[in-house]
Amino acid sequence: MLLRRVLDGAQSLASDIEPLDPRQHPPPCVYVHLSVDGLYTCCSCTLRDDGDDFEAYSTAAIIDHLREHQAAGHHIPDDAFDDLQADAAGHDVWIKSAGKDCRS
């Protein structure tokens, strides 16, 4: 996963960790974001045979998914897991308030 820190001090995952466009990097590139639809999205997931997005409805679920990418040999920075875990409580509340049930 290729991530860039954002220094503007905003409070959402998208501002804490800004994913870079996967077209800027050679595959396999993992591009994950917290969607306005109330879920995490792994865009054009390289673990899926059909290349569709993978959707996760909790921080635990996206961390598990990123571990699968890591096991497949895709580069996931270690601090990505720490950053996701640090923001998990707030993000999961937001996901649930967006109508999702935070299932894993």
CA distance 59 to 72: 20
Could you list the pLDDT tens digit for every one of the 104 residues in the chain? 333 333 333 334 444 444 555 455 455 568 888 888 888 999 889 898 888 999 999 999 999 999 999 999 888 888 889 999 999 998 898 888 877 555 54
Q: How crowded is residue 74: how many other Cβ atoms within 10 Å of its Cβ?
A: 16
Q: What is the pLDDT of residue 61?
A: 95
> Is 67 within 8 Å of 56 (Cβ atoms)?
no
Q: What is the pLDDT of residue 33?
A: 87
CA distance 99 to 29: 29
